[in-house]
Chains A and B, each alone.
Chain A
């Protein structure tokens, strides 16, 4: 069973934005899929394509509202290669943002083959969304809800 990453989001907050970056002139092409468990089975809800291109950055916004994606999984697969002949390593980041707040971030430094060699690095992972408990609630208010 693979170890999961968890991203805490505010169910009442704004839309979820996903950002991918690659430095050193490394080019990437990727697929992101939002999965949801329905009756015990994983079902695709949304699919996005991201290309970091000349600027080394791409982003997209999930269509689902934050309150509807608890326990959903956002999975990705990224292909990357180096365009600059002398570059063999670069840094990649995947950031999940909500209302300009950085909710989750993964940074990795990787050795990447040169595009001119006809080779690519393929890697991927997933993150599961969880709702934040509203931290403005007092303890007595929580007990009141239970009673």
Chain B
């Protein structure tokens, strides 16, 4: 078992330097280095696959529209808690598997296309103390049903981008212009457009609703033979979010139904609660409280998320939880990292 734990740590350690190296490379030019600050990636929803494995730092999940391809890393390097290092990858299946969108107008007018474009598939794996000889894995699906702050509805951002993309008058194409291959260039005007959009986003009041489903399984004795793989948990949830605007405060509420089979015992129940978040420019603070009917306990915790490096979000939560095995109440520290994988080009 220890061998697999070490492999997971190596994998985790392998991803992290690449992410940091990418960030350092990005900061080598001023215009590119500045770009990360303008991204709207500070409201990334939690990974559905990590949620079912209880590897997310918070229990109450956000309902905002997902962004790009995100890699989540969980670790217990500091805390020695129950959840061991793990990795989750979230992506949009529609575009990854060849889906097309005619234009932004179609996205705004077609609820079906918007549903597909905002769908999020998530896969994850971790080691856990609950099943010390097994490898846990999970898959999840999340869909945003409604988001009044969807960035693609921001017409001002669209116009600003259009203006930023108009070629400079000094760069008129010559009569025998031949640059069919194309080149990727930095454009500071695009970054400025996102600076303004981020301010508008933070200061606008609005809400969103999302639904999700996830399934977790375990490979007994780390064997992937058919008879060694069992599913042990299912969950489905609905979450809502309301951002209050200029105050930077946001309220989230979630109701989650969970069914699990652990140590030949069937168990099912609801996890429901609320959280309050305060969005700063580079720091998000939040507190949550929820009732877990499976454990018949009221749990609570605090959470901080900071943007210290380009493309990388560092977070940690401190929460009171009831241990599944011992039944005792514990204070858990869950640190982790989210890396914006899509910037690796």
Check B69 against A29 for contact (C-beta < 8 Å): no
Check B177 against A75 for contact (C-beta < 8 Å): yes
Within 8 A of B (CB), among A51-83: 51-57, 73, 75-81, 83
B15 interface residue, CB < 8 Å from A? no
Check A31 against B343 for contact (C-beta < 8 Å): no
Give the Cβ gap from A118 to chain B, nearest Cβ, in Å.
Answer: 3
A76 cross-chain contacts in B, Cβ below 8 A: 173, 177
Interface centre among B32, B38, B95, B96 (most CB of A within 10 A): B95
Q: Which of A2, A31, A85, A114 contacts B167 (CB 8 A)?
A: A31
Give the Cβ gap from B142 to chain A, nearest Cβ, in Å.
Answer: 13
Distance of A123 Cα from B66 Cα, bound (Å): 30
Check A121 against B102 for contact (C-beta < 8 Å): no
Within 8 A of A (CB), among B279-305: none
Q: Which of B34, B180, B194 contacts A123 (CB 8 A)?
A: B180
A144 interface residue, CB < 8 Å from B? no
Check A118 against B178 for contact (C-beta < 8 Å): no
Check A115 against B161 for contact (C-beta < 8 Å): yes
With contact pairs A2-B176, A79-B167, A88-B342 given, residues A115 and B194 touching in the complex (Cβ less than 8 Å): yes
Distance of A77 Cα from B178 Cα, bound (Å): 9
Q: Which of A1, A35, A80, A87 contacts B95 (CB 8 A)?
A: A87
A84 interface residue, CB < 8 Å from B? yes
Distance of A52 Cα from B163 Cα, bound (Å): 11
B68 cross-chain contacts in A, Cβ below 8 A: 85-86, 114
Check A119 against B184 for contact (C-beta < 8 Å): yes
Check B173 against A79 for contact (C-beta < 8 Å): no
- The A/B interface has a contact count, at CB < 8 Å, of 198
Which residue of A has the minimal Cβ distance to B26? A117
Give the Cβ gap from B193 to chain A, nearest Cβ, in Å.
Answer: 8
A102 interface residue, CB < 8 Å from B? no
A17 interface residue, CB < 8 Å from B? no
Q: Which of A42, A54, A78, A110 contacts B158 (CB 8 A)?
A: A54
A11 cross-chain contacts in B, Cβ below 8 A: none
Distance of A84 Cα from B31 Cα, bound (Å): 21
Which chain B residues have a beta carbon within 8 Å of chain A's beta carbons? 31-32, 34-36, 38-41, 66-69, 91-92, 94-96, 100-105, 107-108, 117, 151-152, 155, 157-158, 161-167, 171-188, 190-191, 193-194, 342-343, 345
What are 23 A-B contacts with C-beta separation under 8 Å? Answer: A3-B178, A25-B107, A29-B166, A31-B171, A33-B175, A54-B105, A56-B103, A75-B174, A75-B176, A76-B173, A76-B177, A81-B165, A84-B107, A118-B34, A118-B38, A119-B185, A120-B165, A120-B184, A121-B183, A122-B185, A126-B175, A126-B177, A126-B178
Additional A-B contacts beyond A85-B342, A116-B194 (17; CB < 8 A): A2-B178, A31-B166, A33-B175, A35-B174, A47-B172, A53-B104, A77-B177, A77-B179, A78-B167, A114-B343, A117-B32, A117-B39, A118-B31, A120-B187, A121-B184, A122-B183, A125-B178
